Amino acid sequence: MAKQDRITRHRAIFMSDLHLGTRSCQAELVLDFLRHNEADTFYLVGDIVDGWRLRGGWYWPQSHNDVMQKLLRKVRRGAHMVFIPGNHDEFARQFFGLSFGGIEIRRNAVHTAADGRRYWVTHGDEFDVVVRHAKWLAFFGDWAYDAAIFINTHFNRARRLLGFGYWSFSAWAKLKVKNAVNFIGAFERELAAEARKRGADGVICGHIHHAAVRQIDGVTYVNTGDFVESCTVVVERDDGKMEIVRWAKLEPRGSTLEEDHADKAEAKAAA
């Protein structure tokens, strides 16, 4: 019998911005994370499926389907799962209040951590002035971001051949370009202020692909990051602490191969 993999159990897992349906999605790393991590509750904090990109041309390889099957399998095994659609999967917002495959679809949620702190959970695009007031610019920015990812992929291939590590242009730009830094800061402050207004102790969001856990005027601001470049999620430990996990490389598979076969068998039986 294959040796059991190390499975880490968390009280809750928050993940966003997988962008399934795009070539830049790191689906194999998402699958690998899901194979090695379990939780009582999963929050899918928006932009899980990229409807914007799929409207322009269908791209849905088997690995992207496997991610969806893996999430559904966790629900079948007893996990509570909440999906909060973002701007890229806004097509799902017409289903607020419904449940598909056991996954609840909500506009937002309130999560009570083990330490009693209450977190307002939202994707965050409603607090992005570009998405809110100039959607055409948001579409252009999305195209430019994809172009940067494409260039970055080939650039890093050359860096690896020369023995250098991975370097992200977009992550560097977010921290170095003044307007980008100002945008991130304004976004974070506005989300924290809204959480305070709602009587919450903190806010958990996604959208801007910039993972963070920090205090803003007495409110805990948490951003899950993304699974395009940074490959980050946020997990809640048993003591209620929120922590960023960066899943940068594939772990040994071991017996999870058997679980993958079970996923496919269940999916076939349900079809």
pLDDT tens-place string over residues 110-157: 999 999 999 999 999 988 754 443 443 344 445 555 656 665 665 556
Share of the chain above pLDDT 70, in %: 71
Q: Domain containing 187: what range?
A: 11-270
Kindly report, residue by residue over 178-211, the tens digit of the pLDDT: 445 567 888 899 999 999 999 999 999 999 888 9
- Name the residue type at position 36: H
Whether 4 is covered by a domain: the verdict is no
Handedness of CA 142, 92, 74, 238 (dihedral sign): positive
Let me know the angle formed at the C-alpha of 27 by 4 and 73, rounded to the nearest 5 degrees.
55
User: Residue 27 above 90 pLDDT?
Assistant: yes
Whether 235 is covered by a domain: the verdict is yes
Task: Give the residue with greater pLDDT, 181 vs 29.
Answer: 29
3-state secondary structure at position 43: strand
Query: Of 30, 66, 32, which is closest to residue 252 (Cα–Cα)?
Result: 32
Report the CATH number that the domain containing residue 252 is assigned in CATH. 3.60.21.10
pLDDT of amino acid 240: 97
pLDDT of amino acid 99: 96
Q: Are strands 219-223 and 232-236 parallel, antiparallel or unpaired?
A: unpaired
Task: Give the residue with greater pLDDT, 251 vs 245.
Answer: 245
Distance CA 80, CA 38 (A): 11
Kindly report, residue by residue over 42-93, the tens digit of the pLDDT: 999 999 999 988 988 899 999 999 999 999 999 999 999 999 999 999 999 9
Task: Give the residue with greater pLDDT, 16 vs 255.
Answer: 16
Q: Are strands 219-223 and 212-216 parallel, antiparallel or unpaired?
A: antiparallel
User: % helix / strand / coil in the chain, to the nearest 5?
Assistant: 40, 20, 35
Measured in Å, how far apart are the chain's first and last C-alpha atoms?
A: 30
Whether 212 is covered by a domain: the verdict is yes
Whether 229 is covered by a domain: the verdict is yes
pLDDT of amino acid 248: 76
State how many domains the chain has.
Answer: 1
Whether 82 is covered by a domain: the verdict is yes
pTM above 0.85, yes or no: no
Q: Are strands 212-216 and 103-105 parallel, antiparallel or unpaired?
A: unpaired
Whether 1 is covered by a domain: the verdict is no
Whether 135 is covered by a domain: the verdict is yes
pLDDT of amino acid 134: 40
